[in-house]
Structure formats: C-alpha cells, structure tokens
Amino acid sequence: MEAYIGVLNYAIPFFLILILFETLVGHVKGEKVARSMDTLASLISGVTNVFKDVLGLTLIIVSYDWMVDHLSITEIETTWLVYLIAFIGLDFSGYWVHRISHKVNYFWNHHLIHHSSEEFNLGCALRQSISNWFSISFIFLLPTALLGVPAQVVAFIAPFHLFSQYWYHTKLIGKLGFLEYLLVTPSHHRVHHAINEIYIDKNFSQIFIFWDKFFGTFQVELPHERPVYGIKKAVKSWNPFVINFIHLWQLLQDAWRAKSWYDKFIIWFKPTGWRPKDVSEAYPIQFSESVYDQLKYDPSYPLFFHIWCWFQFIFISIISLLFFNYSTEFGYQFLIYFVGFMYLSIASMALLMDKHWVAIYVELLKNIISVALVYFYGDWFMINSFFENGSTLIVIYSMICMLIVGYFHKLFHAEQKVVF
C-alpha cells in the first residue's frame, strides 16, 4: 500500500495538470472539451476508487503468485524480454476482461461508470469503479504464468500499463498515421466510448490495437459518423455511488420481478441489456430513437456553487493524501473510519450537485460526526498531529459547510429543481 500511495502523490497532481492543459488547449482551439460539473463528477469518482484501493477491497480469487509457483512450465530469466512478455500478457488479459465487462450483464455494472460521462476527455478516464469486488483477470493471465514470468515483474509493469491508457481519452488528437495500425489511439478509443450503433462494443484493446483485429471487434472512426458519448440509458446523475450501482439495482429489480426462476438466475450472465420477456413487457425502458437526440445531463448552477464544489473536492483530496501518507502510523481500523467519513463527505457533495433533497441531511450527519469527534475525543482523525488547533478549524469549517449547503438547498428547492 505504501508504494501505491507513493504513486498517488505524483499521479494525482499530474492528472489534474493534464486535465487543465487539455481544457486550455481546447479553449485556444475554440473547442469545448469539458464541463465543470462533468469533470468534477469524474474526479470525485476517481477519488472514491482510490479510497477503495487504499482499503484493498477487491477479492483476488486466485493470485498470480500462486499460479506462477504451481502452474509455470518454464522459467524466464529477468531480462528486458521478460518485461516485454509481462506487458503483452497484461494487455491480453486487459482486452478480455474489458470485453467481458461490456458483454455480460453483471460485469457491465463494474464498468458502466467509466462510460457514464457524456463528454470524452482526460477527466472521464478517471471514472473508475468501486463496485468491482472481485477480479477475474487471473483467468487471462494464465498464459503469462505458464511462461513463468515472475510475479514481481508483473507487479512492476502493471502501473505502467494502467497509466499508459490515460492519454488517449481526448477529442483534441486526430488520427496518428502508422500508429493507428499498432497502438490504441484517441481515434480508436473515441469509437469505444461512443453509443452510435456502428461503434457499440468495439475497440476493447488497451495498448495494442491488434487484439481487436485478431478477435473481430475492431472499428475505425468514420468521418461521417460523429461519436456521441455516454451510455444508452443515460444515468442523469453526477453521484458516483448512484452510477456505480444503478445497473446492479436494475438487475436486482428485474430478477425480483421475473416469474421464472431460471430467468432470475440467468439474467446475471446474459448479454448486457438482456431482460426477461415478461419483465421487459411490464416495465419497458425507453431509449432515444437517435443518439443525436439524446440531451446531456446539464443542470444550471450559480457560479458560487461551482467554486464551492471545486473547493470541497480540493479539500477532500489534500486531506486524504495527507492522511494516507501517514496511514501506517494510524493503522487499518483508523483508515476504515476515515475513508467512511470521506465517502459521506463525497455523498453529500454529489447529492447537492444533483439538487437532491437528501443532501442537507447527509451534510448535517457529516458535520454532527465532525463536531462529536472533537467534543468527545478532542481531535478529528488525529488532525492535531499535523496542525496546531486543527480540530478547532475543522469545527469552524463544519459550521461554514452547514450554512452554505443549507443556502443552496433552499435555493434549489425554491427553483423547484430538487429531485424527490
């Protein structure tokens, strides 16, 4: 975990700088590539995923270490070749896990959030899941394990493979000549994120595009078919907790309503979007006839609300990085409590972004917990260890939060745009 947190110290500022740079370049070119709330929703989604990873809340069914120790049929010396094999092995596994995440009802819930943005920019790359509680990547890493690629090599290469997928989430880079035949480019990935009929479920590759060409899922970006981004059944929410579980909730409802016990079971493993016939007839889901008719989720807000939400995000990010860097001193139980509180803070913020009436009560609960911690323990998650009178500042901050959220709750309610 310490290595992961060390990477975050550099990765988070780096990603934010690139997002800002992309926005500025788009402005100079006269192309709007990002919207404030959409980008913020992407970032808070990324933060929720980081919290989950810090706690290690993913079940590894079969570890790669075990497969190498028990199943390898040869050994490879640790040279540049073994690192290349590890990279290709991870890319092969990534292709199939990615494809399954699109093609199977249950696994689509793991991946839906990454496609939920109706923009295509560097921010949307950070929309990562907190609902993927177990990993199936070990199945497709079996060839790598059989070749005897050491676990430490795979662990070393994995972050590079992951971060190498960030750059191609942009509309600002056109086609890249001969690289289009070898690597996944922004053009290829624009196709993948589009909901146009011709683009749906194409280009699953992560680094090398030849996997799609080998397995029949490649589609070139067409000049006459402008990509439209998002998902077919638009979520209409900025809330990462809603987006992470909305498809799972739909599956649970459909399984409950289905009359056939076979349908109740098989729905989880059927192709994404499959519903029992009796359920789909009784509870139809409406889609736009044309993707070009689909309106983006874009509530209006006063400027101060944008400023307030961005300030909240920056505060949550900085305070979280600070605590994570000292997590070994505080212990795992402390981390659970802290992450739980941060999730509550993000939930309050996201609910308010959606103009939901529950936001005021979640914010009240959050601030009551903060004040109670200071009152009963004289501290707020050990903040006095970092700042003199830190807990006093937290109490003041909590009061300010309550006043501002109360103001916006009243404002949104008066506009009758609050969600009931």
- DSSP letters along 196-265, please? STTTTT----SSBTHHHHHHT---PPPTTS---BS-SS------HHHHHHHHHHHHHHHHHH-S-HHHHH
Question: Per-residue pLDDT tens for 367-417?
Answer: 999 999 999 999 999 999 888 899 999 999 999 999 999 999 999 998 865
- Looking at the predicted structure, is the pLDDT value of residue 312 above 70? yes
Taking the domains of the chain in order of start, what are their residue ranges? Answer: 2-215, 253-293, 303-414
Note the pLDDT tens digit of each residue in 252-266.
999 999 999 999 999
Residue 377 one-letter amino acid: Y
pTM over the 0.85 mark: yes
DSSP state of 104: B
Task: Express each pLDDT in 51-82 by its tens digit.
Answer: 999 888 888 889 999 999 999 998 887 788 99
CA-to-CA separations, 25 to 48, 156, 172, 201, 365, in angstroms, rounded: 28, 33, 8, 30, 41
C-alpha–C-alpha distance, residues 32 and 40, integer Å: 16
Task: Indicate if the pLDDT at residue 420 is higher than 60.
Answer: no
Please say if the pLDDT value at position 307 is more than 70: yes
Report phi then psi at 226, rounded to 5: -70, 125
Confidence of residue 418 (pLDDT cuts 50, 70, 90): very low
The answer for residues whose C-beta is within 8 angstroms of residue 169's C-beta and 6 or more apart is: 120, 121, 122, 123, 124, 125, 186, 189, 193
